Amino acid sequence: MQSHGSRRGIHHQKNICSTELLATNILQMFNGPLLTKLYPTSLHLSEKIHTENVKQRVNGGWSDERDRSLCQSLFSNKWNKLLTQWAPKLIEYSPIY
């Protein structure tokens, strides 16, 4: 499973720009069956060379200033309370903890 700080079309479809709400939605996805898949027993990595330049898009992507702000805000401690609240549940299946 892969998740990104912003879903395609988040601004023009749902008009949700709240980092806290987005973090809550992502963390809630880990309830139930997804929680057991959080720490896979094996992992395959492959190298992909990015050859295409980022194209300007009206809605979404790194070229959209709103998405840039949303991604950058993830590092501004705006949602640390949510992560702290969910951390015990998220590491429950971790082989490390």
Question: How many Å apart are CA 6 and CA 56, to the nearest integer?
Answer: 17
Within-domain flag for 63? no
What are the start-end ranges of the H helices in 1-97?
19-28, 65-73, 80-90
Domain that holds residue 16: 8-34+69-97
Question: pTM for this one?
Answer: 0.32
Within-domain flag for 22? yes
Total number of domains constituting the chain = 1
Which two tokens mark 18? 């709240």
| Residue from 3, 1, 4, 2 nearest 64 by CA | 4
pLDDT at 92: 73
Question: How many Å apart are CA 49 and CA 33, to the nearest integer?
Answer: 33
pLDDT tens digit sequence for 38-74:
777 887 877 776 656 655 556 666 677 777 777 776 6
Within-domain flag for 3? no
pLDDT tens digit sequence for 3-34:
444 444 444 445 556 667 777 777 777 776 77
The answer on whether 44 is annotated among ligand-binding residues is no
Which residue matches tokens 């720490």?
39
